[in-house]
Chains A and B, each alone.
Chain A
């Protein structure tokens, strides 16, 4: 479903600030795979996600989604394959517009936007049904401005908007990091539900090791632009946070430099 072929990305090349963000990254995800990515700050997690999404163009290598080489496709064209939830709950929705209008915009991801009436009765019913699956009462607030929702509600809506049109790839960029613990749990549960329901191929970046182990069927640990450790299916099930930290130390000969990861282990 998603192929990353020999991807290289260097920031600020030929300057004192030169930094290799991705080094010869070669990975493949099959349809329905759910991978969680952990790593220190600056390990290249976000760069990888942005490379898949198209906001960063790799220096070398290519990105193939569902058999289509999308490396040279602009961010917005590529977005027709990709659903994305950002860390900031404010980033994924338009605050000045109503819930139904926001959902209508997300509907346009897969088709051309027309000059016909946007939110029709029929669509409204559909939206209501989808919103009802979140079980947080948004289905009765279709005409509420999204800016008036709480952070958790907004993130739940972003999540729904990114998933209900069934993108080929779902990108989650630490999408629970900005929420308080109770909301974090809710969003994680909703993510699991939605990913399962739509059988989405998912890439999730997280800073919480427990979350990374509990979620999905694959795990990548990244450092200095490379995937240094992988765990699939059975191996991943038996993994513990200590295992991961030990692995990191064994491979890199140093402690994982991520305060947040350590604090939240």
Chain B
């Protein structure tokens, strides 16, 4: 069980890249982008094909991410230049990418089991540097070596990667261009009135978003040891669930960029943990996870509304009660005044 949770953290860190991508499109640009389902696989497809052709896995991963950037830009252009509704632009790209992904892969499934991937490279480094012994020593001294994750190397590498990506993204989103990009999703008219070409910001933003998604897909493929044409089905909802879980659990009311990106990453990890637990429970199957994910998103979207409504209702009742009270007291005082004048008359 414990090792399963470590595994969840590991893949959570990798899926967090995708969640950050979804966060950019959904939250920052206010663009519900369904391209994700396709671009996730595209990243994985490009990387896996390059890897089985003997190309260096790091180059292959970067190439996957780069193709994701292009794909995202196309969705952005469809929307800004083609004036296609964002949702439809995303769906069109998703459908188109299914065929393109198949073309890239040449077959619906590519196994990578005996190939050199970024993870095997990291593992080799780890062994040549003999880090395992050094890191394990304190745990062994404490006698808790059994509780240490079995694939510590992957966990450490994924954490470092995530920190780098997060720092880069935080920096970008607070640059002049990044701030304007965020404002584009907030109030486009205003951004245009300050002489910024919002179309460029939307296209580049979608590019960056899908670059992260494809990067994630490329890493997931190497982590799983195979690429599959259906890997991306429902990915957008998983990303959204991660973003929402993160915002609810870890943002603590702050919506500063630095805090929110951290929340999204942690949200992705928590999502994977829920997934891992669901796999351990007898009456649930792995295939039920999509349903659970959808339910999480529905709940996250609906519950705040309900709460808001009941709050509003309560406030309304309260103000009504107050008004009634005031009226009552007014009548009372007026009644007294009437009484007094009546007396003075007599």
Binding site for B on A (CB under 8 A): 53, 75-80, 82, 84, 86, 90-97, 101-102, 104-106, 108-110, 113-119, 145, 161
Count how many chain B residues have C-beta atoms less than 8 Å from C-beta atoms of the other chain: 24
Q: Which residue of B lies closest to A95 (CB)?
A: B186
A91 to B193, CA, bound (A): 10
- Residue in B172, B190, B192, B195 whose CB lies within 8 Å of A115: B172
Interface positions, chain B 149-202, Cβ under 8 Å from A, are 171-172, 174-180, 182-183, 186-187, 189-198
- Residue in A78, A94, A117 whose CB lies within 8 Å of B187: A94
A53 to B209, CA, bound (A): 32
- Residue in B171, B180, B189, B192 whose CB lies within 8 Å of A113: B180
- Give the interface SS of chain A, mostly helix, strand, loop or mixed: loop
A84, B180: Cβ atoms closer than 8 Å: no
Q: Which residue of B lies closest to A162 (CB)?
A: B193
A222 to B196, CA, bound (A): 32
* Nearest Cβ on chain B to A68's Cβ, whole angstroms: 14
* Nearest Cβ on chain A to B97's Cβ, whole angstroms: 29
* Given A113-B180, A115-B172, A108 contacting B187 (CB threshold 8 A): no
Residues of B near A118 (CB, < 8 A) are 174-176, 178-179
B175, A105: Cβ atoms closer than 8 Å: no
**A78-B195, A105-B180, A105-B190 known, 16 other contacts, Cβ within 8 Å:** A91-B187, A91-B189, A92-B193, A93-B190, A94-B183, A96-B186, A102-B183, A104-B179, A105-B179, A105-B191, A108-B196, A109-B195, A113-B177, A113-B180, A115-B178, A145-B255
* Given A79-B195, A105-B183, A91 contacting B190 (CB threshold 8 A): yes
A92, B197: Cβ atoms closer than 8 Å: no
Residues of B near A161 (CB, < 8 A) are 194
- Residue in B172, B177, B179 whose CB lies within 8 Å of A101: B179
Residues of B near A108 (CB, < 8 A) are 176, 180, 194-196
B195, A76: Cβ atoms closer than 8 Å: yes
Q: Which 10 A-B pairs have the closest CB atoms?
A: A79-B195, A94-B186, A113-B176, A94-B183, A118-B179, A94-B187, A80-B195, A96-B186, A109-B194, A109-B195
Binding site for A on B (CB under 8 A): 171-172, 174-180, 182-183, 186-187, 189-198, 255
Max chain A CB contacts within 10 Å: which of B186, B192, B195, B255? B195
Residues of A near B195 (CB, < 8 A) are 76-80, 108-110
Residues of B near A93 (CB, < 8 A) are 187, 190
* Given A105-B180, A113-B176, A94 contacting B192 (CB threshold 8 A): no
A79, B175: Cβ atoms closer than 8 Å: no
* Given A84-B193, A105-B194, A105-B196, A116 contacting B186 (CB threshold 8 A): no
Max chain B CB contacts within 10 Å: which of A80, A113, A115? A113
A86 to B175, CA, bound (A): 27
* Given A76-B195, A79-B192, A106-B194, A114 contacting B187 (CB threshold 8 A): no
A92 to B190, CA, bound (A): 5
Residues of A near B186 (CB, < 8 A) are 94-97
Max chain B CB contacts within 10 Å: which of A94, A101, A104? A94
- Residue in A79, A90, A96, A97 whose CB lies within 8 Å of B193: A79
- Residue in A82, A84, A117 whose CB lies within 8 Å of B175: A117
A106 to B190, CA, bound (A): 9
Residues of A near B183 (CB, < 8 A) are 94, 97, 101-102, 105
A52 to B266, CA, bound (A): 49
Identify 5 residue pairs between A and B in the complex whose beta-carbon atoms are under 8 Å apart, listed by A's number. A76-B192, A84-B193, A94-B183, A108-B180, A108-B194
* Nearest Cβ on chain A to B253's Cβ, whole angstroms: 12
* Nearest Cβ on chain A to B25's Cβ, whole angstroms: 15
A231 to B170, CA, bound (A): 54
A219 to B64, CA, bound (A): 62
Residues of B near A86 (CB, < 8 A) are 189
* Given A80-B195, A94-B183, A105-B196, A114 contacting B175 (CB threshold 8 A): yes
Max chain B CB contacts within 10 Å: which of A78, A102, A114, A145? A102
B177, A115: Cβ atoms closer than 8 Å: yes
B192, A75: Cβ atoms closer than 8 Å: yes
Residues of B near A114 (CB, < 8 A) are 175-177
A115, B175: Cβ atoms closer than 8 Å: yes
A150 to B197, CA, bound (A): 29
A104, B176: Cβ atoms closer than 8 Å: yes
